[in-house]
Amino acid sequence: MLQLQPTNEASAMSAVRHIIICHNYNSFSYAANSVALAQQLAREGHQVLFISHAIPEEMAAIPNLTIVTWPGERPVGWQAFRFIAIWIRRHKCDVLLAQAAALNIAGLAAWLLRVPKRIGYYHSMYASTVIDNAESNWKTSLKKWRKKMFLVCYGHMVCVSRHAASDLQVHFQFPAKRCHIIYNSLADRGQDLLDPKPTEGPIRFFAPTRLDPGKNMLTVIEAFQTFVANTGIDAMLEIAGSGLQEEQVQQLAAQQPCTQFVGLLPYHQIDAHFQHAHFVVCSTLSEAFGMVNIEAMMLGTPVIASNIGGIPEIVTDGETGILVDGNSVEYWQAAFAKACHLFVAESEKYERIRQEARQHFTQSFTQPQQLQQLHKLILED
């Protein structure tokens, strides 16, 4: 378990706080950071309330830590608002940290009840709203206005990349001095997992993603199938996930044996797929950060990722992965060709990229680094 090292600055922030950490917990990687933060703050003597839609198994009984669940799966609507308002009063909350689907309701309640410090997470880009509502300008405008109204409720926003901070300031006029750039992180599971990649069988590409239009997976599948058909190279693309385009992805993947749809994988199985793959694919059209990139780097698997949003802050082309400058079939065909050439003809460079990706992860994206920054933000006056 992470232990934050006390400093003189930390001593100055030692007054007991009544902290609420809330989001809709799930088994994806970023949720584990909220769990670890809640546990650490409670161990330091702060009164912590963790609100989720399910009780995480790893949250053992710890003094000063209370865990409650949302009244529904997603914290939206009047029932969720009343629920969080009651707990803010009951807990005598003086610091609130909210993210994911809890951002809107929790922020509004905390603002109306005058919680002194209100901190939100910004990791959903404005461009994603435009993509999701491509055929309806009025829906895009309405969602932008609504989001801006909720963001006003926060005194501080944690931005998961420099690009996310810029997006927040440009599209929602959030003050730059109240934006805090804190990269996402993972508890390091890769110390003993850097096994050699398979040298026999197909070159394996793994694409774990949400299957929505903004992830561009239909284009990637078409590009991969065309690339394999034109070159005859022995390669396999494995797609995992769920979403609005799940049926289309499943049908398209079934058309060729080189593409396989495996559905939504349980979280405990993900690492094995990252390890077995030679490359991981991140084909999004809009991205503030992209957890899949650091999950792959943690396990020493090079990423082929869209050169957009916050991704270039994580992946360096030719050093820790491959960046794709466009989103068309032609660009992705070229990216797959580059990756296969790297693995087959430049094996030493491929191994060097693996090692540099792993090193970049340990230097910049491990959980203690992020939690130290959040710890300071929550407790400083």
179 and 218, same domain (yes or no): no
Which among 277, 272, 311 has a CA at the least distance from the CA of 294? 311
58 and 98, same domain (yes or no): yes
User: What is the number of domains present in the chain?
Assistant: 2
pLDDT < 70 regions, the chain: 1-14, 25-30, 56-58, 60, 129-136, 191-194
The residue to which tokens 């702060």 are assigned: 46
Domain contains 144: yes
243 and 174, same domain (yes or no): no
Domain contains 193: no
This prediction's pTM: 0.89
CA 57, CA 35: separation in Å to the nearest integer?
10
Domain contains 138: yes
Domain encompassing residue 337? 203-364
CA 78, CA 56: separation in Å to the nearest integer?
25
Which among 169, 84, 78 has a CA at the least distance from the CA of 122? 169
129 and 211, same domain (yes or no): no
Domain contains 196: no
Which among 188, 132, 106, 119 has a CA at the least distance from the CA of 159? 119
Which among 16, 53, 17 has a CA at the least distance from the CA of 34? 53
DSSP state of 264: S
- Contact in structure between 187 and 261 (CB atoms under 8 Å): no
Strand partners, 98: 22, 120
CA 242, CA 18: separation in Å to the nearest integer?
37
pLDDT at residue 6, rounded to an integer: 38
Q: Would you state the structure tokens that stand for residue 233, as one six-digit string?
A: 């190279």
From the number of C-beta atoms within 10 Å of its C-beta (0-12, 13-18, 19+), residue 66 rates as: middle
211 and 360, same domain (yes or no): yes
360 and 282, same domain (yes or no): yes
272 and 150, same domain (yes or no): no
Give the tens place of pLDDT for each residue, 274-320: 999 999 999 999 999 999 999 999 999 999 999 999 999 999 999 99
